[in-house]
Amino acid sequence: MISNIKRLLVVLFLLAQTVFFTSCSSNTEVIIEGDQFHPANHKQYAADVQMSAKNGILYFYFPPTANDLHYQSSLCSYDSGVLKKHHEVTGKVIAFHDGYLYYTIDPEFGKQEIYCYELMSGQEQFVSSVIRDGGDYLRQEYTFVDSENVLYIQNDNVNFNYCPVNGSHYGEPGNKNETYSFDGWTYTVSDNQFHGKDIVGISETGEAVHYDEMVDRGKLSVIPCEDGLLIHGEMYGNLLYYVDGTTGSLHKLFSVPADRTVSAVTVHGNYAYLSFMRYENYDTLFPKRYDNDHLEGTYRIHLKDFSIEKISDSIYSGLFVFDDSGIYACDSECGIFKIDFDGSILMTFLE
């Protein structure tokens, strides 16, 4: 009798493990059409799970704070309905790009070593050592991808030089900035020692517009879209601006009262997608969100007529696009979902 009970418990345990790994989705078949580069994927600074796709396979990086202890600091793939753990990362992730995960290890104060992990081969490689003045360590914000899909990492935080990186190959440092060009205007995003980013547009007639002086200071990121640029203010109430690429005009797209916000933005077609939570009082010890907040959630904003539509009450900290089938989203609990462009959940990978 006891042995039968033991066997039953073992069977139930194995079934539970199988359900956990293979039934985390109502549809275990996930097809990523190609390895489409999307400029917003690299700007998901608040995402609780970083994501990438290579050869049709989804990859997730779970941070050390992930709720599930099994996945903390881990790189995982999702293929044929199975979430598989590949590599445990001992450092801080700074980029997920073109088949590589890049992260830093801090052997001593003021010095960082950059490593990369190749998704397909499973090999970890040393990239370079960098010196950081004043303990201002490398973060995602100190990387960018240019129009030719080349990753750049900030080499030092004094001269703000950037180096091109491809796997373990670390190029020569140079005065390279994010640059976006439209008919008649060129826009440059560069580091500023005092307030994060300088965002400057220069017309072919020499007119210059300093957009960073026109928007909230704080953590700013720039996302190119078909006819202009989105400026994402990731800390305060003015969350999203749009710069018309051919005229240089600035439009405030989305703003809410808030002492602090946490948000994610992506683009698909003629729409921007914004998801956010907000704080009424952002005391670092006891931050307070708004009671029964009906404004928080996920929104779709048309980039032609600037109309705004709330499509979901769900709040996502990261929004990733790999093809035209939907948005891959994560929340603050490290849940991973696929949603359609109307905000409905198509698939749940992990809750």
> What would the pLDDT profile of 294-327 be if each residue is shown by its tens digit?
999 999 999 999 999 999 999 999 999 999 999 9
Residue type, position 78, single letter: Y
Higher pLDDT, 137 or 199: 199
Q: From edge to edge, which strands make up the β-sheet containing 178-182?
A: 178-182, 185-192, 196-203, 208-210
Cα–chain-centroid distance for residue 21? 25
Concatenate the DSSP letters of all residues of 176-224 into one string. --EEEEETTEEEEEEEETTTEEEEEEEETT--EEEGGGTS--SSEEEEE
Specify the pLDDT at position 11: 39
The pair of three-digit structure tokens given for residue 184, joined into one six-digit string: 């008649």
Edge-first strand listing for the sheet containing 50-54: 50-54, 57-62, 74-79, 82-88
Residue 291 three-state SS: coil
**In the prediction, which pLDDT does 278 show?**
96
Report whether pLDDT(218) > 60: yes
Q: Which two tokens stand for residue 261?
A: 């916000």
Do the beta carbons of residue 170 and residue 202 sit within 8 Å? no
User: Which of 15-29, 117-131, 250-264 shows the lowest per-residue confidence on average (mean pLDDT)?
Assistant: 15-29
Domains of the chain, CATH where assigned: 178-315 (2.130.10.10)
Helix (H) or strand (E) holding 281, with range, is: strand 271-281
DSSP 9: H
At 195, the pLDDT band (50, 70, 90 cuts) reads low
pLDDT of residue 21: 37
Q: CA torsion 318→323→324→327, rounded to 10°?
A: -20
Residues 6+ apart with CB under 8 A from 100: 116, 117, 118, 119, 167
Q: Residue 16's pLDDT is what? A: 39
* Residue of 68, 75, 70, 26 lying closest to 54 (CA atoms): 75
Distance CA 220, CA 265 (A): 12
Check: CB of residue 229 under 8 Å from CB of residue 197.
Answer: no
